[in-house]
Chain A
Amino acid sequence: MFSIIKAAVGGLTALCRVNGHQQGLLHGHLKVLAAGLKTHDIPPDHSDVVLPDRRKLKFVNKMPNFKNAKKEMKNLKDIQGPATAANAFTKGEFAIVAMGGGYLHWGHIEMIRLTINRKMDPKTTFARWRINGPYKPVTRKGLGMRMGGGKGAIDQYVTPVRYGRFIVEVGGKVELGEIQRIMTEVAQKLPFKAEVFSRASLAAFQKKHADMEQNNQNPWTFKEITLGNMLGIRKVLSPKDLCHNGRFAGKFHLPWRV
């Protein structure tokens, strides 16, 4: 007797569950509440990561040790175009990458060093500089001086940074989530646009650009037109446009250009 009732109830509940889940014919409005189990992701294994002895960022000098400091030309082409040096990961996992060109002076470098050294955990993380200390002399004339009278005196030293250059590389037994907040805090204070990348995200970013180049539906490309000097367009272009193919404008990188 009880077994029959149980079977009937079980059948009814099964039907109800069936009604609730199936979508095609009856559009069942019966909602089935079911308890679930939380599944946790397996945390990553950092056992093969070797941390160096000096984990924090080193102090960087304000100026190089010159006996006779020489004034240099402005040479703004060290900001122009993409970076060819220090544009890939070496030992670390995450990095601040410059998304535009600019000069970093000692104040910026100190800000980076102090913020990262203060906020990172030296037991599990290490950080490395990917830029040199300031070496390029920048001259400035005194306030209110008239034009002429020679070149100004050296005011400060700066490090030129191009698009795609790594500023700081961070690694160790950490995940991106732990370190991203600190690094974006630093990246936003830099004088050029900068972003935090991990190895995977940088590869994805580069792949995205490569895919854009591949699946561009426009039959006309900047490269084709400039190489062939169609319509004499090189009259209004600079020689650098041949190299950069319209992706750069001065020190700025144009991400919507392919």
Chain B
Amino acid sequence: MAATLCRILLPKQGWLPFTQCVRHGSKSVTRHKRPLHFLKQKLMSVTRYIPPPRPAPIGAYPRQTIRDQEDDPFTILIKKKLKSVFQESKMIAVVQNSGSTADEMMLLKYKLHKHGITVKFFPNQVMRSFLKDSTYSNMAPLFIGHTVLFISKEPKVKEMLSSLRTSRHMLLLGACIDNTLLSAQGVVSYSKLPSVAVVQGELVSGLTLLTSQTAAMLQRHPAQLSALLQQHVKQQSSEGAPKAQEAT
């Protein structure tokens, strides 16, 4: 009877159940937390939850790419000022200021003001972003470090260079004179150029050389003019004869 009962209980032929522990030690559901077997402790520690690495807090590292940010109102104000400066002034010189004192600065400002040159300070970042959008983009490398701007409506380079020569801390980096970029050496050579009037005079005289000579000749005594013309004819005939002899 027990065998038949066993047959009903075991569904498949030759199927044996797992070995079940008959000895009961302690209960599995307890009011306290049951002490874990050491191997189970190890298993729990091996299979613990490891969270994903947390990103750095905002502001911990500087941004890799400087995104285009909207300008704040003060920057917009400075840019308007810069625009007017670039439009009105013919000479814009960039000078490096390596630690000049307030007295020196004041003296320099007064010296330059006598010649109509104003000294301006603008933040480099704003300057660079303004230049990036304007036609003067090649001036951007000049604005690194402590820079001062010398602005004037007339390009008075000689006076500026003389005042810079005397000041110890100011170093000319470059200038934009009449919409042309010049390096420091270029500015020096520009200063050595003759003035516009002189150059214009030279050009005019060069163009009108021949006509002025003929005008002068005509104004002299007609006897001189006739003698000159006779000489000219003789020369031409003498030149023509040897040329014909050479040909034959």
Contacts and interface: CB of A to CB of B under 8 A. Distances in A.
A218 B30 contact: no
Contacts of B77: 18
B76 to A, nearest CB: 9
A25 B49 contact: no
B50 A25 contact: no
Given A22-B72, A79-B29, A80-B29, A215 B43 contact: no
Majority secondary structure of chain B interface residues (helix, strand, loop or mixed): loop
B52 A240 contact: no
Interface string A224-258: 01000001010111101000001001111000111
Contact of B72 (A18, A220, A246, A252): A18
Contacts of B43: 222, 225, 233, 237, 246
A256 B74 contact: no
A233 B36 CA distance: 13
Chain A contact-residue range equals 35 or more
A145 B53 CA distance: 59
Interface in B38-65: 39-40, 43-44, 46-53
A12 interface: no
Given A26-B74, A76-B29, A251-B29, A220 B34 contact: no
A212 B49 contact: yes
A236 B40 CA distance: 7
B73 interface: yes
B147 to A, nearest CB: 15
Given A22-B72, A233-B39, A80 B28 contact: yes
A238 B28 contact: yes
Majority secondary structure of chain A interface residues (helix, strand, loop or mixed): loop
A13 interface: no
B73 A18 contact: yes
A258 B49 contact: yes
B33 interface: yes
A240 B28 contact: yes
Given A76-B28, A233-B39, A250-B30, A220 B123 contact: no
A25 B34 contact: no
A220 B74 contact: no
A23 B59 CA distance: 15
Given A250-B30, A250-B33, A237 B40 contact: yes
Contact of A25 (B33, B36, B51, B123): B123
Given A18-B74, A22-B73, A26-B74, A222 B47 contact: yes
A25 B126 contact: yes
A217 B51 contact: yes
Contact of B50 (A218, A251, A257): A218
Nearest to A77: B29
Interface string B173-207: 00000000000000000000000000000000000
A101 B37 contact: no
A176 B23 CA distance: 51
Interface in A174-231: 212, 215-218, 220-222, 225, 231
Contact of B34 (A225, A236, A250): A250
Contacts of B49: 212, 216, 218, 256-258
Interface of A: 18-19, 21-26, 76-77, 79-80, 101, 212, 215-218, 220-222, 225, 231, 233, 235-238, 240, 246, 249-252, 256-258
The 8 closest A-B pairs by CB, nearest first: A76-B29, A217-B50, A22-B72, A236-B37, A258-B49, A18-B73, A222-B47, A218-B50
20 contacts: A19-B74, A25-B126, A101-B29, A215-B51, A215-B52, A216-B51, A217-B52, A220-B47, A221-B47, A222-B43, A233-B39, A235-B39, A236-B37, A237-B40, A246-B43, A250-B28, A250-B30, A256-B48, A257-B49, A258-B49
Given A76-B27, A258-B49, 10 more contacts: A21-B72, A24-B125, A25-B123, A77-B29, A215-B52, A216-B51, A222-B47, A236-B39, A246-B47, A250-B33
